[in-house]
Amino acid sequence: MSESFRVWDGPLRLFHWLLAASVGGALLTGWLGGNLMPWHGRLGLAVLGLLVFRLLWGLWGSGYARWRYLLATLPGLREELQGRWRRPGHSPAGVLAVLALLGLLALQLATGLLADDEIAFHGPLQPLASPDTSQALTRLHRQLWPWLLGMISLHLLAILFYVRIRRRPLLRAMLTGRMPKTGAGQQDARGGGWSRASLALLLAALLVMAVQMWPEWRVAVPPPAAGVPDW
């Protein structure tokens, strides 16, 4: 059996599969609509929490999951295109795909939080926008989902390419966290840990709760005092 090394930590792998399930469920419930729209909103809030967790995990996670490592790979894009990329973790093209997908999810999420279809759904932050702005964001929210579906499809095709053509066990690695060593310098990812993951999860959950309960926390503007009658 070939020697392997740990490239993706447990919290990152759990994030990946929970995000896939939440986004898939949100797309399905949004497409079906009707009585499933409350679930569409709940799954959107789950995506919000997961994105906040990933943002924090890029600061606190293990080495190959950190933003500074991921961004440092981007200058090696030409090296990857020439077939000479050997560093562990995401390749430069993979990092670009991750950033594009997370950015598109963040945009879809922001438009959903401020959306109002005037029928079955309005986002918890919708009162922050004017009616015209909210309607425009609702249209954008609907227009973005084919782009998101296309990005997910490209992601799956890229995985299929690397598994079938490049013979890299990416799916197994996303389950076990380990990849076979193919060169020098491929060491186990260090850092992270479940204590930091718990803190990141707690902060993400608190933010989701704040967003969900924000309409109840708004201070109602008191009605103007009645004028004193002129006797």
Q: What is the pLDDT along the chain (231 residues), one digit of tens a residue?
A: 468 889 999 999 999 999 999 999 999 999 998 899 999 999 999 999 999 999 999 999 999 999 999 999 999 988 888 878 778 888 888 899 999 999 999 999 999 999 998 887 889 999 889 999 999 999 999 999 999 999 999 999 988 888 888 788 888 889 999 988 876 667 888 888 899 999 999 999 999 999 988 766 554 445 555 554 555
> How many Cβ atoms sit within 10 Å of the Cβ of residue 68?
9
In a domain, 144, yes or no: yes
Residue whose C-alpha is closest to residue 117's, from 38, 207, 21, 215: 38
What confidence score (pLDDT) does residue 225 get?
Answer: 54
In a domain, 221, yes or no: no
CB 189 within 8 A of CB 6: yes
- What's the domain range around 117? 4-181+191-214
Measured between alpha carbons, how far is 149 from 158 in angstroms, rounded to an integer? 14
In a domain, 36, yes or no: yes
In a domain, 225, yes or no: no
Measured between alpha carbons, how far is 63 from 111 in angstroms, rounded to an integer? 32
CB 115 within 8 A of CB 137: yes
The number of C-alpha atoms within 13 Å of 26 and in the hemisphere containing its C-beta is 24
In a domain, 227, yes or no: no
How open is the CA angle 191-192-193, to the nearest 5 degrees?
115
Tokens 């079938």 belong to residue: 164
In a domain, 164, yes or no: yes
Tell me how many domains the chain contains: 1
CB 109 within 8 A of CB 124: no
In a domain, 222, yes or no: no
Residue whose C-alpha is closest to residue 64's, from 187, 172, 150: 187
In a domain, 117, yes or no: yes
Give the domain CATH number at 177: 1.20.950.20
3-state secondary structure (DSSP) of residue 22: helix
